[in-house]
Amino acid sequence: MRVAVVGATGMVGEVMLQVLAERQFPISELIPVASARSVGKKLDYNGNTYTVVGLEDAVSMKPDVALFSAGGETSLTWAPKFAEVGCTVIDNSSAWRMHPDHKLIVPEINANELTAEDKIIANPNCSTIQMVMALAPIHKAFGIERVVVSTYQSITGTGVKAVQQLENEYKGIKGDKAYPHAIHRNALPHCDVFLDNDYTKEEMKLVNETHKILDPNIRVTATAVRIPVVGGHSEAINLTLTKPVNVDEVRRLLSASPGVVVQDNLEANDYPMPLAAHGKDEVFVGRIRKDNSQENGLNLWIVADNLRKGAATNTVQIAEYLAAENLI
């Protein structure tokens, strides 16, 4: 299969290439694509060296599938051009997520919605993916009325500039800043830009994308916080269910869910942490307990590597499903 990776030199693009190799995705020709300043650079993949090409050249090469991680503006402009030549685009930006004509896919939950006609497929936001992975089996069994989620998000979700800011601040070096304040030894209740409703775009992604993937009737409210962590995103989630909750049944359901690992042994101080989730594809769930302050309440703690299941791995899994079902 002819596979283009758009944004191949970026943080997520590099992880996409790593995941493609690890999962032995069937590639007959790899087409690494990046912006003009990276065109001509050499890139190693699976023991071979490839030359980075521009978007125009990539379209003319008519790949079978294109994995996009190059920002919303690039996706809005170029995804339709790839689709016009018969390529299936799986886009990791926010550009197409809430578009009514394009599907928002977490393979373990709703891949069966995909058809051969879906030429632009949206990959959800990283914080949404890990949350709905845990919520989907609970919603099916108990019904979820309301979600209150507080996120503790890795700086890698912002990109290379944020990682550099943290490293500079740790070393006491002045440099470019990705955030309006210091991130070292700090926590910023500010992920993405603020909107007119006083929530951030990141917070509203958790609301809107959960509605599109799971159920528009679930009430969701979110607070997203950036913390000086590299390994992955963490989420404290409080649920109000429609039925009385059985914690043992929740653990059983989550343990049986593909891609979810229950890590909940308090005697051994065993619970999900971003340091342990780093480099892994699973979504880790722990601190599963009743909320004794309300009827049918449940608390969860969820952690996942935001560059892998939160971005690259989910994208590749969508491509795997399409290939297995002969949809590309």
The contacts of residue 131 (CB under 8 Å, 6+ apart) are: 147, 149, 206, 210, 235, 237, 302
With residue 317 as reference, give the H or E element that holds it: helix 313-324
Annotated catalytic residue within 102, 126, 191, 278: 126
Annotated catalytic residue within 87, 139, 191, 233: 233
Output phi, psi for 267, to 5 deg: -60, -30
Helices 313-324 and 11-22, interaxial angle, to 10°? 40
Whether 126 is a known active-site residue: answer: yes
Specify burial of residue 312 (Cβ count, 10 A radius: 0-12, 13-18, 19+): buried
Specify burial of residue 197 (Cβ count, 10 A radius: 0-12, 13-18, 19+): exposed
- Spell out where the chain has E strands: 2-6, 29-33, 42-45, 48-51, 65-68, 88-91, 120-122, 144-153, 219-226, 233-241, 260-262, 283-291, 297-304
The tokens for 135 are 């919520």
In the chain, the largest separation of any two C-alpha atoms, in whole Å, equals 60
The tokens for 216 are 């528009």
**What letter would DSSP give residue 190?**
-
With residue 15 as reference, give the H or E element that holds it: helix 11-22
Q: Which of 126, 193, 182 is nearest to 154 (CA)?
A: 126
CB 142 within 8 A of CB 245: yes
Q: How big is the CA angle at 230 (ends 312 and 264), to the nearest 5 degrees?
A: 85
**What letter would DSSP give residue 155?**
G
**Active site positions, annotated:** 126, 233
